[in-house]
Amino acid sequence: MEKKPRAIKDKRYEEKHKAERKAKSLSWGTSVPRETAENINFFLKKYGFTKIQLIEAGYKALLDEAAEHNTSLAKIMDGYDDFFGFESDKSEK
């Protein structure tokens, strides 16, 4: 039996599990200016952070910032579930 090259095995595996990967993760096809990207990469490498940690921390910071301006969001983030009638998502933007 002839051994198949690793690249062929990998490709077959990837094709077989493509749907599973897509269901589990999402990829944003976005670009960042080169200088900014290089600065971010330098920072991440220097301090041992991953790009995922960067995204998660940025998302949390933006949630916190949004909550400062949106009482309903702030209460949800703090675990409150007792809203008054006037505190609906429709009343705040």
Report whether pLDDT(93) > 50.
Answer: no
Distance (Å, whole) CA 20 – CA 18: 5
pTM attached to this predicted model: 0.58
3-state SS, 69-87, equals HCHHHHHHHHCCCCCCCCC
Domain-wise residue ranges, the chain: 48-93
Summary mean pLDDT of the chain: 82
User: Could you give the CA distance from residue 71 to residue 28 in angstroms, rounded to a whole number?
Assistant: 30
Whether the pLDDT of residue 74 is over 90: the answer is no
Least confident among 3-7, 9-13, 70-74, 88-92:
88-92
Mean pLDDT, rounded, for 68-93: 66
Of residues 53 and 12, which shows the higher confidence score? 53
